[in-house]
Chains A and B, each alone.
Chain A
Amino acid sequence: EDKVVQSPLSLVVHEGDTVTLNCSYEVTNFRSLLWYKQEKKAPTFLFMLTSSGIEKKSGRLSSILDKKELFSILNITATQTGDSAVYLCAVPDSGGGADGLTFGKGTHLIIQP
């Protein structure tokens, strides 16, 4: 059974700080790793990672994958209060027929002014 573990579960920092969120995974057949941001309701897609060592970047957010050590990190620099959210890591089903996602529990990030 595929497994995703995120840490920390919760993090409170001040505006301007840099944070690093962690995600480790165990899957039978790795295809990709995904990061989502969930504010109030629907999770919204951030990044898809497939190759080790290649950083994906979007503004102040960046993410990288290590397929040897089976983990990924999500970095947020110069955090703002709008970055407060639950950040979810997920892997698509490693079986043959479907794309159901296996999620971690998420990291609840709170940015204080």
Chain B
Amino acid sequence: EAGVTQFPSHSVIEKGQTVTLRCDPISGHDNLYWYRRVMGKEIKFLLHFVKESKQDESGMPNNRFLAERTGGTYSTLKVQPAELEDSGVYFCASSQGKRRLLYNEQFFGPGTRLTVL
């Protein structure tokens, strides 16, 4: 079974440009999460989709970030315009549909490293 995949592996852009990251979750997983790790800091939760709906986007830094999951399959995270502080590794994770009391195991993708110059 294929795991969570992310594209691209690494993106280098200039400040002010736009970048779109893509995540393909494990097939059949309704839950999709985006996280970000900036250098020297912990991995931070950005948002959570249940199918195509945003369940929780409390971690999104500001309105330069737009996440979509049309059709409830893959998701994109667009940063427009990118700023220097957006550099970091963006992880995607997915989990099965029904929310369990204790925890739904999240399977992580390899991450996209974003560098904003």
A interface, CB within 8 angstroms of B: 4, 31-32, 34, 36, 40-45, 48, 50, 88, 90, 92-93, 95, 97-106
Contact = CB atoms under 8 A, between A and B. Distances in A.
B111 interface: yes
Given A92-B103, A104-B42, A105-B41, A98 B56 contact: yes
Interface of B: 3-4, 31, 33, 35, 41-45, 47-48, 55-56, 58-59, 91, 95, 99, 101-111
Contacts of A41: 109-111
A42 B111 contact: yes
A99 B48 contact: yes
B110 A106 contact: no
A43 B108 CA distance: 6
- Top 6 A-B residue pairs of the complex, sorted by shortest distance between their CB atoms: A41-B110, A100-B45, A98-B56, A103-B43, A42-B108, A98-B48
A102 B111 contact: no
A40 B109 CA distance: 11
A5 B31 CA distance: 26
